[in-house]
Amino acid sequence: MINISRANRVHRPERVLSYIPDESYEITNSLFKGTCPTEFLPYLYSFGTYDGIGTYRLSEEIAKQKGVKSVVGIEFRPDDPNVKIPENLDCITIPENDYLLVRCVYDGDFNHSLILDAVELTLSKHPTISDEYEFIENPVAITVYLEKDQILVLYPVKIQQDQNIISEQSLSSISKEDLLDFAQKDFITNYYNWTYMNQRLSSFGKEGVTDYCFVHFNVKDFNMINELFNHQAGNDHLCAITERIEECKDWIYFGSRCDNDNFALMIKDMPNDEIVKKMTEFFEPISYLKSNPTYKVYYKCGIVTMMSSLNAGRRVSDYAKIAQSLCKKPNQTEIMFYTKEMHDRVMYSKQIKAYLDTALKNNEFFIYLQPKINVETNSLEGAEALVRWNFKTKEILSPAMFIPYFETDDSISKIDTFVLTAVCKKLQEWKKQKLQLYPISVNLSRKQIEKINIVEHIKEIVDSYNIDHSLIDFELTESATIDNQESIQPILEELKSSGFKISMDDFGIGYSSFSLLKNIPFDTLKIDKSFVDNITSTSQEQSQVFKDNIIIKHIISMSNELGYKCIAEGAETESQVEKLKQLGCKIIQGYFFSKPLPIEEFETRYLIK
């Protein structure tokens, strides 16, 4: 049974196929189970290869010449001294051509004829495909690849019509030469626009370019140039970029200004390190404003390598933008290469963010509580609320599976609000049951702190459940506080004056600043687990263990002298607990005492006597 999920047009240059015979499909079936033929291991995804290993059905003419019809092989760029082609394997040349890249699901036993005949029959009945493409009869080779749970088929085709290509011939009846420029050029820079680039992608292979890497970049904080100087300064810099593109035509095939400060390039295929070198050199002369050389300009650059570019067709710009979107470091130019894993992460992030409101409505989120133990009295001191997600009621997701994605935008604020509300609701229930109440800590994210009227929002939630403010302990990470210290300080002071507790989480992991301890009104410092892990280690260098012990000892001493509580988190063994007690730590949180518990279990173990 064949189910086609998507078909798009791609182009392939001439390439050499090195192969081994596989008439019985034994090698193909092993390949599809994850076993790579040893003959191809040294060449898999090496420079100048196209795609990975595929299985091929050869034409009748080639089959007669070679004595084999079904083969497994890998494609190489010809006539390139940097590309190593196996010398001990048979090979054929596959001519340059346009292809339909068909993605489909097939759940039967592998057989070229069954799969290809079914795909061809399905495509021939598709009205758009049958109007635009003609299948080439008896092509040199038809390729089948496996990608996760999908089969990819490359079908050689002739293009019947291509309405996306604009040419001078198609405009000849208008007799206005400047109309083509108007359609293909940007009026600010008088340089090629996205329409022009889109045509180059559509007509790839007909412009003397056989393969390429795709680049998409923009200027970081471009709006600041317009605001600090003027729009003319911004426009001048856009023109400087297009001039720089023209200076590099020895390795840039085509360039365009897509929109705003976004640019696209089709460049020569090179090893990744050489691409980085070329792009770094490309940006250097345009890393400042001509009108104000002291103003530094930085870029976000996403690159799609040749292999991914050829499979993507005109979707290649989407892939480059995905890589570009992950350039987030300030005050530096970043160059990121697109990967399939990167695409999967971005798509996963978009999916769970889109589903978040539905998940909250369906009550899919819930909290666990991990106790904090006073080791002097061996009694409960409080607890930390940790969120979990019963994703679509199918699987329980740990915070690591969604929190990092939600932290990139305001989605995390919804989680913060949910956890705070759930904690207040539970405290209210315990209060009505006349159980002993203990402070519970909840995370307060950077995005939540930055919200307007956040203190009033928090007080409204807590007060609606008639909960004493001292029972809510807000935990902030060092990075969140140090990056926004001036704006955060008055907010935290207002929370503190309203009776809430403030803790610094993960203290000591790299952002520590004495100015934080001096200016931010903390109640508690939580020593990061990374220090606790090594305090009794016998596998680590003893000098490092000694240093960790000294650091913890002085953090505890400093906390006591500043009037803060000090909590060590992540204690998992009795020896770690004993060492922390020796160093003066009175409150410890970790698996030695308890893992995070469902609320009912926490109640039974710690509250109900």
The more confidently predicted of residues 374 and 147 is 374
Q: Mean pLDDT for the chain?
A: 88
282 CA to centre of own chain: 25
Q: Same structural domain for residues 140 and 235? A: no
What mean pLDDT do residues 204-224 have? 89
Give the model's pLDDT for residue 56: 92
Q: pLDDT tens for residues 260-308?
A: 999 999 999 999 999 999 999 999 999 999 888 999 999 999 999 998 8
Q: Same structural domain for residues 121 and 232? A: no
Give the model's pLDDT for residue 109: 67
Q: Same structural domain for residues 388 and 530? A: yes
Alpha carbon distances (Å) from 75 to 47, 90, 91, 206, 268: 11, 12, 9, 21, 18
Tokens of 300: 């976000």
Instruction: Kindly state the greatest CA–CA separation across the chain.
Output: 93
User: Which position has the token pair 């990967």?
Assistant: 339
What's the structural domain count of the chain?
3
**Is 248 a residue whose pLDDT tops 60?**
yes
Give the model's pLDDT for residue 136: 87
**Other beta carbons less than 10 A from residue 3's beta carbon:** 12
pLDDT range class, residue 377, cuts 50, 70, 90: very high
Distance CA 13, CA 17 (A): 12
Give the model's pLDDT for residue 462: 97
Quick check: 552 and 535 in contact, CB under 8 A? yes
What mean pLDDT do residues 230-234 have? 84
The more confidently predicted of residues 482 and 433 is 433
In the chain, what percentage of residues exceed pLDDT 70? 89
Domain boundary among 103, 131, 159: 159
Residue 173 included in any domain: no
Q: Lowest mean pLDDT of 19-33, 189-203, 424-438, 499-513, name the range.
A: 499-513
pLDDT range class, residue 483, cuts 50, 70, 90: low
Q: Same structural domain for residues 140 and 202? A: no
Residue 588 included in any domain: yes
**DSSP three-state, residue 596:** coil
**Is 491 a residue whose pLDDT tops 60?**
yes
Q: Lowest mean pLDDT of 26-30, 67-71, 148-152, name the range.
A: 148-152
CATH of the domain at 564: 3.20.20.450
Give the model's pLDDT for residue 2: 62
Distance CA 88, CA 541 (A): 50
What mean pLDDT do residues 481-496 have? 81
Q: Same structural domain for residues 330 and 434? A: no
Which DSSP category does 330 fall into?
Answer: T
Domain boundary among 126, 159, 192: 159
520 CA to centre of own chain: 33
Q: Same structural domain for residues 143 and 278? A: no
Give the model's pLDDT for residue 291: 83
**Is 35 a residue whose pLDDT tops 80?**
yes
Q: pLDDT tens for residues 162-183?
A: 545 555 555 455 556 667 777 8
CATH of the domain at 302: 3.30.70.270
pTM over 0.85: no
Q: How many CA atoms lie within 13 A of 179 on its CB side?
A: 12
What mean pLDDT do residues 551-555 have? 88
**Is 545 a residue whose pLDDT tops 60?**
yes
Quick check: 16 and 78 in contact, CB under 8 A? yes
Residue 169 included in any domain: no
Distance CA 485, CA 576 (A): 33
Q: pLDDT tens for residues 253-262?
A: 999 999 999 9
Alpha carbon distances (Å) from 301 to 249, 278, 295, 304: 18, 12, 20, 10
**Is 311 a residue whose pLDDT tops 90?**
no
Q: pLDDT tens for residues 82-112?
A: 998 998 999 999 999 998 888 777 666 667 6
Distance CA 178, CA 184 (A): 10
CATH of the domain at 35: 3.20.80.10
What mean pLDDT do residues 493-508 have? 91
Alpha carbon distances (Å) from 377 to 371, 436, 568, 588: 14, 16, 16, 12
Q: pLDDT tens for residues 505-528?
A: 888 765 555 667 778 889 999 988
Angle at Cα 23 formed by Cα 19 and Cα 28, nearest 5°? 65
Q: Same structural domain for residues 367 and 501? A: yes
Decide: residue 276, CB within 10 A, 0-12 exposed, 13-18 middle, 19+ buried: middle
**Is 443 a residue whose pLDDT tops 90?**
yes
Q: How many CA atoms lie within 13 A of 41 on its CB side?
A: 6
Which DSSP category does 47 fall into?
Answer: T
DSSP string for 82-139: T----SSSEEEEEPPEEEEEEEEEE-S---HHHHHHHHHHHHHT-HHHHHHEEEPSS-
Quick check: 110 and 24 in contact, CB under 8 A? no
Residue 599 included in any domain: yes
Q: Same structural domain for residues 492 and 581? A: yes
pLDDT range class, residue 581, cuts 50, 70, 90: very high
Q: Same structural domain for residues 146 and 35? A: yes
Q: pLDDT tens for residues 385-428?
A: 999 999 999 999 999 999 999 988 889 999 999 999 999 999 99
pLDDT range class, residue 241, cuts 50, 70, 90: very high
Q: Same structural domain for residues 146 and 44? A: yes
What residues make up the domain containing 539?
Answer: 347-607
**Is 309 a residue whose pLDDT tops 70?**
yes
**Is 161 a residue whose pLDDT tops 60?**
no
Quick check: 520 and 492 in contact, CB under 8 A? yes
User: Which position has the token pair 């090496």?
Assistant: 46
Domain boundary among 159, 188, 219: 159
Alpha carbon distances (Å) from 162 to 129, 233, 442: 12, 40, 58
Residue 171 included in any domain: no
Q: Same structural domain for residues 578 and 446? A: yes
Q: pLDDT tens for residues 120-133?
A: 776 666 655 666 77
Residue 166 included in any domain: no
Q: Same structural domain for residues 547 and 575? A: yes
**Is 330 a residue whose pLDDT tops 90?**
no
Distance CA 554, CA 549 (A): 9
Distance CA 609, CA 597 (A): 17
In the chain, what percentage of residues exceed pLDDT 90? 56
